[in-house]
Amino acid sequence: MKFIDLRSDTVTKLTKEMREAMLNAEVGDDVFSDDPTMNDLEDYTAKLFGKEAAIFVPSGTFSNQLALFTHCNQGDEVIVDQFAHIVQHESGASPIISGVQLFTLESDNGIWDLNKLEKMIKVRTISTTRTKLVCMENSFNGRVIPLDYMEKVFNIAKKHGLSVHLDGARIFNAATALKTEVKELAKYADTVSVCLSKALGAPVGTILVGSKEFIEKARYNRKIMGGGMRQVGILAACGFIAIKKMSKRLMEDHENARYMEKLLREIPGIQIDGTQLDINMVFFDIDDERKYDLDTYLYSKGVKILPYEGSFRFVTHYDVSRSEIKQAIDLVKEYFA
C-alpha cells in the first residue's frame, strides 16, 4: 500500500533525475577537498546566497550546531527563540558540542519585541557572560518572517558587535512566499543554514554558507564533529537538482496546503492558527477527545500523520498530490463526524 504521508516534507524520496545524477556524478575525496561535484555545489550555493563560501554537512541539526560551534567560544551566550529548532528539536546539542549558554527569548510566533531583545544583550562582567550570537529562523513553524523585521534584528546585533545565524532549513519556502530571492534573506545574517532534504527532495544534506574565513574554520570543526565525508559527489549531484529545479516548484506545495486548510475548515470545532499558514503546512487543533487516536485511525486507512506538541501539523510536499490531500482530509472529516 502506498501511504499518503503528511508527517513532514522530509519524507520526499529522491526523484528519478536525482538517481540518474548520482549514477553519473564525478567524485573524489572531499576530506582532501578533492570532490569536484561537491566543490561546484558549495561554490554555486555560496554565490546564490551572496556569500563567499559554503560547506556541506549531513543534516540541518549538524549545520546549526556547527554554526554555533564556529561562531562561539565555550561559555558564550546565544540568543534564540524559545520555540526555535535549535533549542526544541536538536537533542540538547548546543551545550554538549559548543558549551554555549542558550538564552531563550519569548516571541509572538517568531517575532521578538525588539526592545526586549536589545535589553537582553549582555557584555562580559565578573558575573555575566557575553552574548556572542543571535539566531533567527525563517520560515519559523509555518510562518514567514518579513525582511524588514530581519533587517532590524540584524542591525541591533551589529550595533552590539554580535554575529547573526539564520536557520534557513526552509529558506526556499520562505523566499517563495515572499516572492524574493534567497540572497535577500541571507543579507541579514552572517551565516545561513539551508536544508536540501526537506521540500527540495534531496536524500541527505544541508549547506552552511558564510564568509571564507568562517567556512575555513567550520571545515576544521566539521571534522571534529565527525562530519568529514569522502565521495560525497553523489549527494552533491542531487543537491544541484534540489536547488536548481525543486526550489522552483514550492508554490505548488504552498497552494496545496491552502487547499488542505480550506477542507479542514469544514470540520466543526477545528482551530487553525492563522499566523502559520505561509508555506507548506497547516497547524491545527480540534476540540474533541477523539483527536488522541486520530493518528492510529488514519494509519489503518493508509495515511501517516505526526501529532505535534499536543495538536497537529500536516505538511504538503512533492510526493503528495491534490487528490491524495482530498482523500486524507475526507478521512479526517469522516473520523470526527
What residue ranges bind ligand PLP (CB under 6 A)? 59-61, 64, 85, 137, 167, 169, 195, 206
Cβ proximity to ligand PLP, 15 vs 206, nearer residue: 206
Cβ proximity to ligand PLP, 61 vs 280, nearer residue: 61
Look at residues 104, 94, 95 and name the one whose alpha carbon lies nearest to residue 65. Answer: 94
Residue in the shown chain whose Cβ atom is closest to ligand PLP: 60
Residues 286 and 264: their CA atoms lie apart, in Å, by 10
Q: Are 176 and 168 in contact (CB under 8 A)?
A: no
3-state secondary structure of 232: coil
Minimum CB separation of residue 89 from ligand PLP in Å reads 7
Minimum CB separation of residue 217 from ligand PLP in Å reads 21
Cβ proximity to ligand PLP, 15 vs 59, nearer residue: 59
Cβ proximity to ligand PLP, 93 vs 121, nearer residue: 93
Side chain identity at residue 85, one-letter code: H
Give the Cα-Cα-Cα angle 315, 323, 20 (nearest 5 degrees): 70
Look at residues 46, 50, 200, 67 and name the one whose alpha carbon lies nearest to residue 133. Answer: 67
Residues 124 and 67: their CA atoms lie apart, in Å, by 22
Minimum CB separation of residue 62 from ligand PLP in Å reads 7
Cβ proximity to ligand PLP, 177 vs 270, nearer residue: 177
Minimum CB separation of residue 59 from ligand PLP in Å reads 4
Minimum CB separation of residue 231 from ligand PLP in Å reads 21
Instruction: Please state the φ and ψ torsions of residue 88, each to the nearest 5 degrees.
Output: -90, -30
